[in-house]
Amino acid sequence: MDKIPVTDNHIHVDPVNGEGPLETANKFSRAGGSFMIVPNKPTWTVNTTDYKEAMELVIKYVNEINTETDVKAFPVVGVHPAELSRLIKAGMDVSQSEQKIKNALEIAQKLVLDGEAVAIGEVGRPHYEVSPEELDAQNRLLVYAMELAKEANCPVQLHTESAGPKQYLEFAEMADRVGLPRNKVIKHFSGPFVLEEENHGLLPSLIATKDVVKTGLKKGKNILMETDYLDDKTRPGAVLGPKTVPRRTKEMIDQGLLSEDDAYRIHVENVEKVYNLNLEI
């Protein structure tokens, strides 16, 4: 297992509310982790109201990880769908709020185009109930993020409500409308929807619980794995701890559910393909 690189496809770092980038990366590394894909956290969690600053912070944290630990990290920048909800709740009308988020998504795209980040995300729509008017705006923003990703030749990481095959098809058709390849759409926090008829060509990033990974691996290996670790001291270990993906990978190998070659495919080849990266092992 020591020779098999392991990637956590969605792991947060937060020195404001959590242990921060270095401690998180070192925990991941000690458990056998190699690569971290790190989306920026929402503005209110890192004491700012500026979307660009939140994105620049995660780029800074990733640079610290790459300079001071054995882990190689890559930033993902975007605007969490809850940001729109907060603007509307604060009294801004929906159209103004939508335009403000569009402007921020354009900043994310520029960071990708400038080589500062590898994807746009997490973007999408809320995991909670909103008004029909807001939901329409969230869907328009989701399509716009995909359009920006198409122009930048990068993937998008989606944050959405609990999604099954019906929602996967909806997202796939959104991508088709703007010409973004379906395999450049990463469904963050995915269940074990690994079969083509379940995910409709999108790339599922499986939340690395034992049941989800075990079920998913029986269907195929065209997956990523993640913890969605929040790095928040008020919620220790949420969603899953930073050691989970390396440990789950080793567990699956030990149980004969995953070969070392397939682990390499999941944690290196799939990552390289979707993010246009060359992971130097």
Residue 188's pLDDT is: 98
3-state secondary structure of 196: helix
Identity of residue 7? T
Q: Which pair of tokens denotes residue 86? A: 């907060």
Q: How far apart are CA 189 and CA 184, in angstroms?
A: 16
Q: How far apart are CA 39 and CA 229, in angstroms?
A: 11
- Residue 153 near residue 201 (C-beta atoms within 8 A): no
Helical packing angle, 21-30 and 51-68, nearest 10°: 50
Nearest to 275, CA basis, from 155, 191, 135: 155
Task: Give the predicted TM-score (pTM) of the model.
Answer: 0.97
Residue 153 gets the label, from left (phi > 0), alpha (psi -120 to 50) or beta, of left
Residue 281's pLDDT is: 63
Q: How far apart are CA 157 and CA 155, in angstroms?
A: 7
Residue 207's pLDDT is: 98
* CATH class of this structure's domain 7-275: alpha beta
Residue 1's pLDDT is: 44
Q: How far apart are CA 167 and CA 157, in angstroms?
A: 15
Residue 2's pLDDT is: 55
State phi, psi for 273 to the nearest 5 degrees: -65, -45
CA dihedral 266, 60, 156, 114 (to 10 degrees): -110
Mean pLDDT by 10 residues, the chain (281 residues): 85 96 98 98 96 98 98 98 98 97 98 98 97 98 98 98 97 98 98 98 98 98 98 95 98 96 98 95 63
